[in-house]
């Protein structure tokens, strides 16, 4: 699928070039860097809403990536459960991490917030969820599957280790 891309760094650059053009769903397997990609294109004047999973881990992960990649961005963080406080506001970008969590109820809330650009991130999104996202905007999809990431050495080959326990 990603024939000319040889290294993980090339993949990240390619992904950021895609995001400069259109609304996108990056359907990339876990671990290749889909969280980092949007951070390469954001400017300090961009108003960004990052919607992430409801665990503290997601927020800390985003904050760490921003600190490393682009500490000058103007981002607000929220979970789906807290999304209503942004109704009526306008943002340059929506970055929806774990976009597979979309439901019809959240769709209505997203529609009550104005976004100029949409970036959806997830390892895998089922067709019914993609259809919900299409009700927010038209978007293109770029896929990186786990097998491809391992074969191209963007991810290390998984190891299986057996640890015997005596109870």
**Cβ contact 123:141 at 8 Å:** no
E strand or H helix at 61: helix 56-69
Concatenate the DSSP letters of all residues of 93-122 into one string: EEEEETGGG--HHHHHHHHTSEEEEEEEEE
Residue range 143-163, pLDDT digits in tens: 999 999 999 999 999 899 999
Residue range 10-60, pLDDT digits in tens: 999 999 999 998 999 999 999 999 999 999 999 999 999 999 987 778 888
- 23: CB partners within 8 A, 6+ apart: 117, 118, 119, 120, 137, 138, 139, 140
**Cβ contact 39:144 at 8 Å:** no
As beta bridge partners, residue 27 has: 122, 143
pTM for the model: 0.91
């Amino acid at each position: 699928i990603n024939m000319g891309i040889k290294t993980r760094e090339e993949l990240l650059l390619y992904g950021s070039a895609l995001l400069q053009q259109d609304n996108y769903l990056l359907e990339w397997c876990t671990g290749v860097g889909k969280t980092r990609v949007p951070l390469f294109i954001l400017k300090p004047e961009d108003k960004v809403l990052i919607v992430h999973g409801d665990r503290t881990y997601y927020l800390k992960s985003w904050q760490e990536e921003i600190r490393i990649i682009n500490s000058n961005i103007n981002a607000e963080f929220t979970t789906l459960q807290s999304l209503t406080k942004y109704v009526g506001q306008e943002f340059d970008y929506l970055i929806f991490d774990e976009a597979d969590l979309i439901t019809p109820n959240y769709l209505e809330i997203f529609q009550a917030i104005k976004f100029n650009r949409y970036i959806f991130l997830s390892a895998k999104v089922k067709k019914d969820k993609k259809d919900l996202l299409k009700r927010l905007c038209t978007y293109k999809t770029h896929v990186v599957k786990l097998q491809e990431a391992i074969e191209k050495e963007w991810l290390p080959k998984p190891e299986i280790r057996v640890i015997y326990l005596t109870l």
